[in-house]
Structure 1
């Protein structure tokens, strides 16, 4: 048995034990590891049992939620996160499109995958209810990305000058899809390189070397633009944000210099030659006029005129040969895809689908913005920048996804989950505790007080609080009664 197979089995078995004996969130960590390791498609897959590892971990997540559902619902209610409402609406569009999908088989296959993903995200949100668990989930993703980099380091490029065959579970052998899944990791590693202690920075250094190196080998132009967008935006905020820590701008400059130095060391001529074709056509046709993808994108508008509700998943490919003009592109037009997440959603579900998809993204950015403002009031700039790094990671992924079809990508919804969980841990939970404390104090101030104690012969005589409405007559009667008791005590 190979060391990788043995390591994976020990890790998986230990994770299942942790779910039962420690915390149900360990099931989601296992789910992440299975996704990144993709054990059934690695060279060491023959040494492990043939099992549905992702399905088993998903069942363990559901079991962990069922055991502590009442408790977890109080800590992490779904209703406090509008993003889940949008997510369910997007899923509902998939089910509605069953009635008119042009490619029923493809639509059924992707819908079946997507509803499972949505369920996993809903359950994971309940389980990632503390800062520690959220940090572990982020680091599992980063370490998984480093493993993909390590795995790709031992493989060579193909005849196109690109690395292939190292993808995660939903990226198959496509280099562009695998590279896009690693884009947010670069931004998050940038944050930890700045905020972490020396031990964290040592781990970040190793992980960054593997991740950046495999991105160079994958040679994805979309991923290059995604990394550039996400990291540039994060460094921009480090330099010019009004939320500044000691020597923050100096740290930003140092990170930029170190990042550029590392990138220049790891990149090669093949990488830069491909990056120079950003305006050229795909499939290695350098020096082209770049008409291919733009024609695919704008062709979606013609399709939507005839199919205003969309064509369902796979519908674009079904009619691409009818609507695309072969004289306006260097590509073949049969069974093409739009090559853009935005136009993918538009083609699948029409303008309504694009509205729901964008609404889902805006809702998570809105609540993360509220969380950042709350962190400023709480005097926690490190958490402010952590949430900012998650936002920039998501933006980087969306930039890469502008050139590939990733509307149902795992990493897209992981980043949404991380932002939603951050808002819950750092904002919603604290807000709920503050409201509960204020309500308790208000009840304490409104509680009825008893009658004051009456002195008499060295000891106090207490009287119960009056019952019923207090009137002038009842108060006069009580005072007369107290006076009679006092006179009786003095005669004795």
Structure 2
């Protein structure tokens, strides 16, 4: 058995043991690692038992929640998180689409079932990740998984022109999808490089180097834009936020300098040659051709106002675009998270998705304002901000690819929802449940009880 196969089996059985011996949240961490390791698609898969490890991890999560449901519900009630309600409505729109307007019911049904499983995982994980420690562990499980993908890209090298292919994830097999999955790691590692002790900072630097090198080798322009969209607002907040700690601005400047220096070190001529195509907005090499695909969504919606269902846009592409516009691809995809959602569930379903994001952001903003008003440690304040920026970075990167139902998107939504729960909603519920002292009577304290 190879070292990778042995390591995977140790991680898997260790996660099972930790679930029963330590915390139910370990089952979701195991699920995250299985997702990134993707044993079925790796060269060492022939050396491990041929079972569905993600299914086992999912069942472990559900079983753990079922056995301690009352305990988990006390800390993480689903009804207290508004974004989760809108997620259920979005899922219902997919079932409505299957019944009423999906143009390819067979494919729509298959992927709707997959999306249902993902939503169930999100709801179960929200219950299990009910503490600050569990949240931090889940973030690091994502970062370690992303680091593994960066390592795979590094040892594989560019094997398809100026890109790396063949290291994909279960639901994101192509290079752009893999790159988008790595993008949120940038701002999260930036947070730990700032707030962590020297051991955490060293780990963040190592992980960041492998992930950055992987992104350069994958050479995704959308991932480049997504990284900027996430890191830039976080650094600006470190500089200009009124919620400051000692040495915060010098540290932000140091991180910016080190980060830029590292980025310049790992990038090469092929990377910058591809990124330079973004300057010529008229060239199809810049991705401008995708704008045509996006705009065709509105033409399709004129004839199908409720939406087209999953793969409906692809089915209609030959009818609304000529062969030259489609680039020789008959069933062309729309190539955008936003327009994919709009085409699949229509304007009303897409509005539900936007409402979910706005609801989550408003809850997170309330949490940050509450933390600042309480005068607590700004570590938690900036952790929430980092999670917001991580979600933003993924949304920016996925603007150019079909990732409306991608695992990482809903993981980022989940982690931000968990962050608002453990840092804010739990404390608000405790305050609301604590009875106020009775008026007209001074409570007797321990220090004065003996003198009365």
| Cα gap change, 1:445 to 1:16, in 2 (>3 Å) | farther
Give the equivalent residue in structure 1 for 2:362. 366
Question: Partners in 2 of 1:409 and 1:287 — Cα distance?
Answer: 26
Q: Which residue in 2 is equivalent to 1:215?
A: 215
CA distance 1:445–1:324, change in 2 (3 Å): farther
**Superposition pairs of residues 447-458 of structure 1, within 5 angstroms:** none
C-alpha displacement of 1:104: 1.6
1:46 corresponds in structure 2 to 46
Matched residue SS, 1:242: coil
Deviation at 1:280, TM superposition (A): 6.0
Cα distance in 1 between the residues matched to 2:235 and 2:213: 21
Q: Does 1:17 align with 2:17?
A: yes
Match of 2:334 among 338, 355, 371: 338
> Could you say which residue in structure 1 is the equivalent of 2:178?
178
How many residues are treated as equivalent by the alignment?
441
Q: Assess, with a 3 A threshold, how the Cα gap between structure 1 residues 59 and 443 changes in structure 2: closer, same or farther.
A: farther
Query: Residue 307 of structure 2 corresponds to which residue in structure 1?
Result: 310
Q: Which residue of 2 aligns with 1:469?
A: none
Partner of 2:59: 59
Secondary structure of the corresponding residue to residue 278 of structure 2: coil
Q: Aligned equivalents of 2:180 and 2:285: distance in 1?
A: 24
Indicate conservation of the 8 Å contact 2:31/2:54, yes or no: yes
Q: CA deviation at 1:105?
A: 2.2
Q: Secondary structure at the match of 1:225?
A: helix
Paired residue secondary structure (1:160): coil
Tell me what 1:119 maps to.
Answer: 120
* Equivalent position of 2:105 in the other structure: 104
Give TM-score, length-normalised by structure 2: 0.94
Mapping of residues 206-245 of structure 1, within 5 Å = 206-245=206-245
Q: Is residue 191–residue 389 contact of structure 1 (8 Å, CA) maintained in 2? A: yes
Establish whether residue 294 from structure 1 lines up as the match of residue 291 from structure 2: yes
Q: Do the aligned partners of residues 289 and 165 (structure 1) sit closer, same or farther apart at CA in structure 2, a change above 3 Å counting?
A: closer
Tell me what 1:164 maps to: 165
> Is the alpha carbon distance of 1:72 and 1:446 closer, same or farther for their aligned partners in structure 2, counting shifts above 3 Å?
farther
Give the TM-score of the pair, scaled to structure 1: 0.87
Give the secondary-structure state (helix, strand or coil) at the position aligned to 1:441. coil
Q: Displacement, 1:148? A: 1.1
Which secondary structure does the structure 1 equivalent of 2:95 belong to? Answer: helix
Evaluate the alpha carbon distance shift between residue 364 and residue 137 of structure 1 in structure 2; reply closer, same or farther with a 3 A threshold: same
Structure 1 equivalent of residue 427 of structure 2: 430
Counterpart for residue 345 of structure 2: 349
2:271 aligns with 271
Deviation, structure 1 residue 290: 5.1
Mapped to 1, the partners of 2:321 and 2:441 lie a distance apart of 72
Q: Distance in 1 between matches of 2:340 and 2:326?
A: 20
Which one is further off, 131-140 or 151-160? 151-160
Mapping 1:68-217, distance limit 5 Å: 68-99=68-99, 100-172=101-173, 174-217=174-217
Gaps of 5+ in 1: 448-492
Q: Could you say which residue in structure 1 is the equivalent of 2:382?
A: 385
Contact map agreement 1:280 1:290 (CA 8 A) in 2? no
The Cα of 1:248 is off from its aligned counterpart by: 1.1
Secondary structure at the counterpart of residue 23 of structure 1: coil
Asked if the contact 1:279–1:289 (Cα under 8 Å) also holds between the matched residues in 2, the reply is yes
Residue 295 of structure 1 contacts residue 324 of structure 1 at CA under 8 Å; is this kept in 2? no
What per-residue deviation string (whole Å, max 9, x for no partner) do you get for residues 104-142 of structure 1? 222112111100000000000001001111110001111
Change (3 A) 1:226 1:442: farther
CA distance in 2, matches of 1:188, 1:397: 12
Q: Is the 8 A contact 2:326 2:332 kept in 1?
A: no
Are the equivalent residues in 1 in contact too, given 2:191–2:386 (CA < 8 A)? yes
Distance 1:25 1:358 in 2: 29
| Paired residue secondary structure (1:308) | coil
1:371 positional shift: 0.7
Between stretches 244-253 and 310-319, larger displacement belongs to: 244-253
**1:291 and 1:330 in contact (8 A); partners too:** no
- The aligned residue for residue 29 of structure 2 is 29
Between the aligned partners of 1:312 and 1:446, the Cα distance in structure 2 is: 65
Tell me, yes or no, if the aligned pair for 2:277 and 2:286 is still in contact at 8 Å. Answer: no
The corresponding residue for 1:441 is 437
CA distance in 2, matches of 1:397, 1:388: 14
Tell whether the 8 Å contact from 1:131 to 1:425 is kept in structure 2 after alignment: yes
CA distances 1:252-275 after superposition (whole Å, capped 9, x unpaired):
111111011001100001101111
Task: Name the CA shift for 1:293/1:249 in 2 (closer, same or farther; >3 Å).
Answer: same
- Say what the alpha-carbon RMSD is for the aligned residues: 1.9
